[in-house]
Amino acid sequence: MTVARELSSHVPTAIQRRRRLRLARTLVGGSVRRALLPPGSARGRERVQVCRAANMLSALGVRVEVVGGAVPWPRSERVVVSDHTGWLGDLALSTAVPRTPVISRARALPAGAVVCPVVVRYRTAAGYLGRDDVPQTPAEVAAMRDLVVEVHRLPALEPVPGASSLVTAAA
């Protein structure tokens, strides 16, 4: 355990238990909502997915802060490229950039898509967490006090004509 985790005191056991119960309720409720949607309702499924991700984060006591760039991203034909790893970053990105495909830096990109890079950072009141300090399980997240996931939206990169999708991703 590093200094950032040691300084960040854990929440009491009763609060951890309450957070885990809220998470369980959210998971069951999201599954029921998804099952009740009509089969062809893609927009409704997207809305349920975003709400479920936001409710899961809230149940665990996690805040998401989106730090935007000065220039807005295009609304269509965009792909978000992220440096994050893990389910916690996936949930944060689901709420911060809904209805947008998110891929890791190492994967190929669709031809002609505008690359919208994001950087995901985790912090507590004690400071930023290193990659090894990011909680990996819901129980670890429920035990942390003041966990914030920052999603930094960087300026969009226009596709380069004639360049391969991997070259564009590396840029």
pLDDT score recorded for residue 110: 77
DSSP one-letter code for 10:
B
Q: What's the whole-number mean pLDDT along residues 71-77?
A: 81
Spell out the residues 6+ positions from residue 67 whose beta carbon is closer than 8 angstroms to its own. 150, 151, 152, 153
- With bands split at pLDDT 50, 70 and 90, how would you rate the model's confidence at 168? very low
- pLDDT tens per residue, range 112-125: 788 889 999 999 98
Specify the number of domains making up the chain. Answer: 1
**Mean pLDDT score of the chain, rounded to an integer?**
82
pLDDT value for 161: 62
- The pLDDT tens digits for 23-52 are 888 888 878 877 777 777 777 788 888 889
Which pTM was predicted?
0.78
Domain that holds residue 16: 3-170
Structure token digits, residue 108? 């190929």
Residue for token digits 């990011």? Answer: 134
Of how many residues is the chain composed?
Answer: 171
**Confidence bin at 66 (pLDDT 50/70/90):** very high
> Residue 3's pLDDT band (boundaries 50, 70, 90)?
very low
Residues 6+ apart with CB under 8 A from 92: 53, 57, 62, 64, 84, 120, 149, 151
**Residue labelled with tokens 């400071």:** 127
Q: What is the pLDDT of residue 170?
A: 46
Percent of the chain with pLDDT over 70: 87
Per-residue pLDDT tens over the stretch 81-97: 888 778 999 999 999 98
